Chains A and B, each alone.
Chain A
Amino acid sequence: MSKTSAIPSGVTGATLAKDLRLEWRSKDAINSMLFFSLLVVVVFSFSFDPNAEESRQIAGGLVWVAFLFAAVVALNQTWARELRNQVLDAYRVSPAPANSLFLAKALGNFIFVAVLEILMTPLFIMFYKLRALGPAWQLLPIAALGTWALVVNGTFFAAMSLRTRSREIMLPLLLFPISIPALLAMVNATTAILTGELSAKFWIVLLSTYNVVFTIVCLLLFELVLNAE
């Protein structure tokens, strides 16, 4: 009898590839989310007059709140496919490590939310006539770190809320308080770059620390959550 052993990176890669492929095929989640993102930008533009001078100051915050809404909608459907037909059971019965599944889902969510951000950003720039007065290249690591901060905890709490009633509301309930330092960092770093008034350096350090700490914790604790039936 051959003893099989699952290579963790192989499992992560296969799961991520499968998720991306399925999403590409059906496109129903991505389509609705794209439209949702557009709606969010439009609603914000109505609520916070883009021509007012104050809006330029808060644009950093607006953008990230919009991204946060989009992220929550994306995170809520992380495990939707696995819940149908109880596919998670098949995963738990296999020797595949739980962490590989977590990483694959987190990376998939990251790509997903990043796509939404890439599509929403030009709209924001257009509506709010945004210009980066500080070093604009820093916006890229800020966006990447900020998105990962939301997505890594979001994927973990989405798995946690699988075991609760009112699943869709539990995710933001759990995610928002924990994400406050990361949100503060994202918003202030973005505002610092847009207004050019302050340095975003400290915020980037904070975001990096946040990401390292919580990625490690998520990886350590995910198996417990997956098997908490």
Chain B
Amino acid sequence: MTISHEDALMQLDIDIDTTLHSGKRSFRLRMQFASDSRRIVILGPSGAGKSLTLKAIAGLMTPASGHIRLAGRTLFDAAAGINLTPQQRNVAYLFQDYALFPHLTVRQNVGFGLVRGWRNPGLDQPHAAVDYWLQQFDLQHLAQQFPDQISGGQRQRTALARALAARPGALLLDEPFAALDRALRVTLRRELDQLQCRLALPMILITHDPDDAIWFGGHVLKLCDGRLDEAELDAVKDQR
């Protein structure tokens, strides 16, 4: 394997420690790992802190201490007082239930991140990048539909198109297949696999399903009760 300068950069370097309180219960999340894989899977049961980790990377949750570096860029460093806003981090986040904007069409959803300012993209506003991503995910015929008028698989494609249109530096996926039936899951896994190969986009995926981890490959981390299971750190297959 040749190591170019770019490859030498750590893709993801996380060392965070934070405690969350909810009523009388508290939950401590301690994560420390570094990976230069473009495919990272965090595997663990629900309540293990997977989503919290992903939210910390995206800037939607601020850990009490530690640091997060992605592709050579410091996103968060408690000691140095660095905490980039989610807007500055340039990562994409695929929410488990997709979080599509219900008042906007598929086309407006895909173009959402491409239009700045106070106004949403217009219904028919021409935009080459929007057309490109609609076509990539075979969504052209649904462009004028609203999210509640399309199927679950189509919603996920729309959410992916919206995330990728914003040209992110990394894609974070929160249980991307949990809400889909078996047949659709197989199809979308394959699509995501091809997408990652084609775009060479770093992806961090969290899941409770070991099958997802085996299929997605890359660097698999097992998370249990807020801590990484160190003994289980194994690279299943690094496809880079």
Does chain A bind chain B? no
User: B-contacting residues of A (Cβ < 8 Å)?
Assistant: none
Measured CB to CB, the residues of B under 8 A from A are: none
